[in-house]
Structure 1
Amino acid sequence: MTNIRIETPNLILRQYSLSDSKDVIFYSQQPKVAYGMSDMVLHNESKALSWINWINKKINTTEPFIVLAIENKTNGICIGVVGVHPKDEIDNEVELLYGVSDNYQNKGYATEASKALIQWTFENTQLKSLTAIVKPENIPSKIVIEKLGFEYVDTKVILYDGDMCKFGYYKLYNNHS
């Protein structure tokens, strides 16, 4: 297993540890996080531990499948998730994902974590581009994606929570490859 650790001015991006389970349960159930990432809401310790074990086993830099905890350097709390992984609903294109606990939003952490992971991914994998999908009404996430340099390509209709939903479809290309 690859041990990935990325430090930014305010955050540590690292693999999850089992001791993160309570933080994962908390942030995954926050209203804004749950709305944007309903498939990752974890309701109890058993599900959180299972998810952490699954995520850590799946990590690889070839595919790539990299999903990391976002740790706040100031207090050591796991405040969210950031990752890149192939997404079935968009023909297995590698998607950027992120979610930051509601009480830590509007501090630039999603942008800071995502920017660091994008840079690490483009430097350490063969990936030529990343995709992001964002619900049109999720303006904060759209702002993060655009700050990161993603460009709007199209609207895609994707099955999400049992319904067909519109998503903004964005791409970012590795300019150093």
Structure 2
Amino acid sequence: MKILETERLIIEEANLSDASFFLRLLNSPNWLEFIGDRNIKSLEDATKYVQESLIGSYKEKGFGFYKMSLRANNEPIGAIGFLKREYLEFPDIGYAILPNYESKGYVSEAAKAVLEYGKNKLQLKEIVAFTTEENLASQKILLKIGLYFIDKRILDGEECVYYSTEKC
């Protein structure tokens, strides 16, 4: 199901036929460095990930992590969306993109649109984000789309920089 379109992108729910794409994305260098190894090493692992983590979130929470594709040719290039983690009060926005598509403005374009979708369509009261202190590109995007730096926190056992749509 299509969630939204931007000038250059289509944001839509993932389905089981996207498993090979998610296998590539979850094993890309930036995913492994900044998000972490999810131990998705086979097409079977990726299919299970799409079914349980992505499709499961759409059904259970009404939102999740979506596939990001180019409008020009429908080629999947990344993922973006919201996650509701047990240790956070509010959903957090996250994103990842394949290396060939980095530094072309796709993530900023998608993140701005998805943030508006979360506020207006999903009626999310507050949206947060966090990343490692080393991930300067992600921090730049979060500020560019209108989130505010709040502080540094230990989240999931790791020191992170924490952002929110609301000033504290």
Distance 1:85 1:36, change over 3 A: same
* Aligned residues of 2:129 and 2:164 also touching (Cα < 8 A): yes
Instruction: Show CA shifts across 1:119-155 (max 9, x none).
Output: 1111112312110001111000011101011111110
Q: CA deviation at 1:63?
A: 4.4
Q: Which residue of 2 aligns with 1:88?
A: 86
TM-score (norm 1): 0.85
1:58 match: secondary structure: helix
Q: Which residue of 1 aligns with 2:164?
A: 171
Q: Which residue of 1 aligns with 2:152?
A: 155
Distance 1:41 1:8, change over 3 A: farther
Q: Which residue of 2 aligns with 1:72?
A: 70
Note the 1:136-151 alignment, pairs <5 A.
Answer: 136-151=133-148
Q: CA deviation at 1:165?
A: 2.1
What amino acid does structure 1 have at the position aligned with 2:160?
F
Q: CA deviation at 1:170?
A: 0.5
1:120 match: secondary structure: helix
Higher strand share: 1
TM-score (norm 2): 0.89
* Aligned residues of 1:34 and 1:41 also touching (Cα < 8 A): no
Distance 1:69 1:40, change over 3 A: farther
1:87 match: secondary structure: coil
Alignment match of 1:32 (pick from 12, 30, 33): 30
Is 2:58 aligned against 1:59?
yes
**Residues of 2 paired with 1:73 and 1:4: CA distance?**
12
Q: CA deviation at 1:24?
A: 1.1
**Residues of 1 paired with 2:48 and 2:159: CA distance?**
30
Corresponding pairs, count:
165
Unmatched tracts of structure 1, length 5 or more: none
Identity %: 22
Q: CA RMSD in A?
A: 1.8
Unmatched tracts of structure 2, length 5 or more: none
Q: Which residue of 2 aligns with 1:135?
A: 132
Q: CA deviation at 1:4?
A: 4.2
